[in-house]
Amino acid sequence: MAAKSLEPGMSLQLDANGKLRHFLSIDGLSRDLLTDILDTAESFAAVPEQSVKKVPLLRGKTIVNLFFEASTRTRTTFELAAKRLSADVLNINVNVSATVKGETLLDTLRNLQAMHADMFIVRHAQSGAAHFIAEHVQPHVSVINAGDGCHAHPTQAMLDMFTIRRHKQQFEKLTVTIIGDILHSRVARSQIDALNMLGTGEIRIVTPKTLLPAEAGTLGVQVHHELESGLRNADVVIMLRLQRERMAGALLPSAGEYFRLYGLTEEKLAAARDDVIIMHPGPINRGIEVDSQVADGPRSVILQQVSHGIAVRMAVMSMAMQQTIKEPG
């Protein structure tokens, strides 16, 4: 996980009036602002059911998907969200762009700004990349962090909060358990920040000692190394992907041993509450993190998370562009 020094705080993310300008991290934002994002997303949730699946809030704006890492789910939902707000969308394939030929990130940014872009959706393998870009954009341009290194993934966290609120209504009495690769997970860091900010009753993390971040004691969570104790009476269970591409060295036993100790099965899930919901930011490694019977079962809300991602990203983009939100229609 990234060091606290990367956190942008309120000064960069908010304008002088306290309105959202960039969305780089959950840290530094207020409970009221997070609730505003969730409420705004609720107003957009019915848009896909309309005969015309668009609202005109960002008509005439140009949004650039600037993805330096591979992504399907996140990039696609951002693109759909932008188009449903009536924006023009430009997808930059960085693998064949000038950055491969040696152009710096700052030069790429300046060239795109010269094309009158209004917003950058940034995904990058380096922690702090979205923050760096936000520091160098023109005053009218907004930056949304779509995942940077092991640091943050704030829109994923907010769509997870939206999903939890839709099923459980209030956060204060909930026990939420996050299971898996906490050390390398930008999603987990953002989820923990959001859950704490929204007043969640108890937050647990369950992970092998080798995948526990050094700063775990400062995160406001209870640490468990055994799955059964972490699942006991949980209201929400969030599974995480093992991020082997970010691991250096042998941090894990075999995949089979990991599944035996930390993989979620119906039998192990019996320790949680009867109305528990199962979440996963994806992509799922079936048979390693979670059994297919659980992932596809009646308590799974994994596909709902994907659908909710569109509404939440519509909310964040419209708020960052400081458009007045009205009832869609």
pLDDT of residue 135 exceeding 60: yes
CATH fold group of domain 154-306: Rossmann fold (3.40.50)
Q: Judge whether residue 130 has pLDDT over 70.
A: yes
Mean pLDDT of 185-203: 97
CA angle 289, 281, 122 (to 5 degrees): 135
pLDDT for position 70: 79
**What confidence score (pLDDT) does residue 26 get?**
96
Under the banding of pLDDT at 50, 70 and 90, the label for residue 327 is: very low
> Do 4-152+307-320 and 154-306 share a fold?
yes
Q: What is the pTM of this model?
A: 0.90
Query: Residue 109: its pLDDT value, please?
Result: 85
What local confidence, expressed as pLDDT, does residue 93 receive? 72
Give the pLDDT of residue 246. Answer: 43
**Per-residue pLDDT tens for 58-117?**
999 999 999 988 788 899 999 999 999 999 999 987 764 545 545 677 888 888 888 899
Quick check: 249 pLDDT over 60?
Answer: no
> What's the mean pLDDT in 150-164?
96
Most confident region among 85-99, 116-130, 241-255, 290-304 by mean pLDDT: 290-304
- Percent of the chain with pLDDT strictly greater than 90: 70
Mean pLDDT over 168-179 rounds to 97
For residues 273-297, give the mean pLDDT.
94
Map out the domains of the chain as residue ranges.
4-152+307-320, 154-306
The CATH class that applies to domain 4-152+307-320 reads: alpha beta
323 Cβ neighbours under 8 A, 6+ residues apart? 57, 58
